[in-house]
């Protein structure tokens, strides 16, 4: 059966690859000229040309999505575990491997984080989100090593050495009895809105403990929320690279909204509304298109910016949340908990001076602190 599939797929690649043939030949001949007949060089040239063929193939057939789905179906039936840089873990979750980061770079990232903590006079909390690989449960196929967790261990050890307060959600989720793979989407590197809520409340509890505040607000109790389920609605970034048949699943999406009354003011526009009116964009939940819709980023994407919680129950503190997309499903619940929250991708001195936060909370996906030349620009302007 596998031989038949291989022949069929090879024929398909020949058909759609005709348009990319000149580029493939150019890449291979260049590799031969520069590297001789080294197998590795020729293989890399072919791999690069194949990656470039993806958009070309999309023009030859009905859609790029159809091409990816067909490729993924063939690859899955042939027992392939890696496709388009995405690894299918033993439990079926998809993981995109990145290049290893040298310790020198990890220490530079830690130094930059330390600089921001010092700029905030210690009123700073660094939150490390988990990679797609659990350090407590090895799900990698045989022969592939986990680079993410050792790198994060090293980074967090550096931060401890530098006296930076941290929260490591690899351990926090595990200690709470929450399995990592249930906390993340199967086709995406992001955590779910439920996990985002859990993270927001864990952060709020840590900050209230630091300030000696006994916090008992409706926003911190999950029983005060309702969940709307959109079955098979979200295909994450890993899933889009391999298609639904290689992944075997399209994730459900859950919209979490409060049952209690809310009044939130957008400080940039002056408009006031309830939680859903102010922070939720339901347009991403109206029409299903797994290839074009970025549900995770879109539904709660409005939470970036400056908001004031007008509820009398709000904890009277100002939080500056600097984050990548992992904060998208954390920010809405911090906004419901604290009096003022400003969520931003980057920090500037002007923002710090204008907003004057009581605490800076930085939430980062591992790639932003372990991938070369990604993290440093976020805080470089604040360093001496």
pLDDT tens digits, 313-336 = 999 999 999 999 999 999 999 999
Report the distance separating Cα 367 and Cα 21, nearest Å: 34
Residues 6+ apart with CB under 8 A from 351: 320, 342, 344
Q: Taking all residues of the chain, what is their mean pLDDT, rounded to a whole number?
A: 84
End-to-end CA distance of the chain: 63
Q: Dihedral of CA 228/229/233/235: which sign?
A: positive
Report the distance separating Cα 283 and Cα 291, nearest Å: 15
3-class secondary-structure state, position 150: helix
The pLDDT tens digits of the residues spanning 213-224 come to 988 899 999 999
- Residue 294 — pLDDT band, cuts 50, 70, 90? confident
Helices (H), 120-254: 148-161, 169-175, 180-183, 193-211, 237-247
The pLDDT tens digits of the residues spanning 107-164 come to 989 998 999 999 999 999 999 999 999 999 999 999 999 999 999 999 999 999 999 9
228, pLDDT greater than 50: yes
- Residue 47 — pLDDT band, cuts 50, 70, 90? very low
* pTM beyond cutoff 0.75: yes
21, pLDDT greater than 50: no
């Amino acid at each position: 059966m596998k031989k038949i599939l291989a022949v069929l797929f090879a024929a398909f690649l020949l058909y759609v690859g005709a348009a990319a043939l000149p580029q493939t030949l150019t890449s291979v001949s260049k590799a031969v000229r520069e590297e001789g007949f080294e197998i590795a060089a020729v293989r890399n040239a072919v791999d690069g040309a194949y990656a470039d063929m993806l958009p070309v193939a999309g023009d030859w057939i009905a859609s790029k999505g159809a091409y990816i789905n067909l490729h993924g179906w063939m690859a899955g039936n042939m027992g392939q575990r890696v496709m388009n840089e995405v690894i299918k873990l033993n439990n079926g979750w998809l993981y995109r491997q990145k290049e290893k980061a040298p310790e020198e770079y990890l220490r530079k990232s830690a130094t930059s984080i330390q600089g921001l903590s010092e700029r905030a006079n210690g009123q700073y909390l660094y939150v490390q989100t988990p990679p797609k690989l659990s350090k407590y449960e090895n799900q990698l196929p045989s022969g592939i090593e986990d680079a993410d967790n050792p790198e994060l261990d090293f980074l967090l050890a550096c931060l401890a050495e530098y006296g930076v307060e941290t929260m490591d959600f690899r351990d926090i989720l595990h200690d709470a009895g929450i399995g990592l793979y249930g906390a993340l989407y199967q086709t995406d590197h992001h955590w779910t809105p439920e996990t985002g809520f859990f993270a927001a409340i864990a952060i709020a509890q840590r900050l209230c403990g630091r300030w000696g505040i006994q916090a008992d607000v409706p926003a911190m109790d999950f029983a005060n929320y309702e969940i709307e389920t959109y079955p098979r609605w979200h295909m994450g970034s890993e899933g889009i690279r391999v298609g639904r048949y290689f992944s075997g699943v399209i994730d459900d999406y859950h919209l979490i909204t409060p049952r209690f009354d809310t009044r939130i003011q957008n400080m940039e526009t002056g408009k006031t509304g309830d939680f859903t009116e102010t922070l939720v964009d339901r347009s991403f939940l109206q029409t299903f298109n797994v290839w074009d819709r970025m549900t995770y980023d879109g539904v709660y994407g409005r939470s970036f910016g400056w908001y004031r919680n007008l509820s009398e129950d709000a904890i009277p503190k100002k939080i500056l949340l600097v984050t990548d997309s992992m904060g998208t499903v954390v920010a809405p619940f911090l906004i419901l908990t604290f009096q003022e929250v400003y969520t931003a991708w980057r920090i500037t001195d002007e923002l710090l001076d204008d907003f004057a936060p009581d605490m800076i909370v930085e939430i980062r996906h591992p790639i932003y602190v372990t991938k070369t030349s990604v993290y440093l620009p976020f805080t470089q302007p604040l360093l001496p």
